[in-house]
Structure 1
Amino acid sequence: MYSHHGPGLDLNHLADDAHLTVEVHSVVASARRRATRDGDRQVDTAHLLHSLLENDPRAYAACDAGGGQSARMLGYLVQRSIGYGLRWHGSVEDSGELPTVGEGAAPGWSPSAAAAMRAAVVLARRGGRLRADGVDLLHALAADPQCRAMDVFRAAGIDVGTFGDGAASHRDDSGYRDDGPVAS
């Protein structure tokens, strides 16, 4: 879905990356812990989605559509993390045929998860923001129809088209856009 071109994110050192908000840093750290705890060799898009829903209230609200859908998605994700529910056999992120991005003791990144992280930064830039937030990451996950996160959206009956315009979701009622601190 996404090309390998885009922002120069160092996926092995995202904790220091200035392209991401504090919330996304938390999501990344949580997704890495989740993958390690689950015994997975790579962080995939389902790990990112699970961590995103747990750590970013705005992303949770953006995909909920007022119908408890986010809670249903979390249920699928929790079942997956304890070995029940959705099975990923044969999916691209689990095939073992594609290399992970990154090396070392920490899990690497599935190609789809790495692409989603880069796409989130691109979405933020298109919206005139310096850093990608959780809603950008949510939109990036929803844009890849072949990733595990989309399997979760489909299983939970989530219409990703209801997420709305990414740039509009970053504005509050006053029209103010929270882009974080401005460099001087």
Structure 2
Amino acid sequence: MVKKRITKVYTKTGDQGLTSLVGGSRVSKASLRVDSYGDVDELNAVLGIILSQGVDDEINSLLIAIQNDLFIMGADLASPPDIEVPRISKESFENLEVAIDKFLEELEPLKEFILPSGNTGGSYLHFARTVSRRVERKVVKLMEEEEIGQNVLIYLNRLSDLLFVMARVENQRGNFKETFVDFKK
């Protein structure tokens, strides 16, 4: 694959509300495909905010790997199926499953719902989980209209689970006690 060098930040090619997909086809910036990879970009930026908060080293390393995966996912979503680009692989979401299982070993099983809160890192991880779920819903809509790789959806489904578990781990390692939902009020 040939790497394209970015020489300018602005190109003026989107001034009329169109953008180019990988391969050169032009689509509306309001298209569901563009909206989907834009939401992936937003999720990636949220992970960058979490990294700036000084989270646990193990979580930090994993978030950097996830950011790389999300960049690949953005390229995957910005590319018609017949264009050769890096795609989200089965190995990518299997790595998330391994991380989920490892983190769960140090957590008490939940018997009740918890509030999405905690220390700064834990709270932002809960926020990232909600953004990930929104991206997942958007990608489901896109899949109903266009062909995309199935691994994208699987990855997003695992990612939101992992972000939930990482929020709990970050809070536990930071000695923050989880708050259970009070349904009696």
TM > 0.5:
no
Query: Which has a greater percent of helix?
Result: 2
**Normalising by the residue count of structure 2, what TM-score does the alignment of the two structures yield?**
0.34
TM, length-normalised to structure 1: 0.34
Structure of larger gyration radius: 2
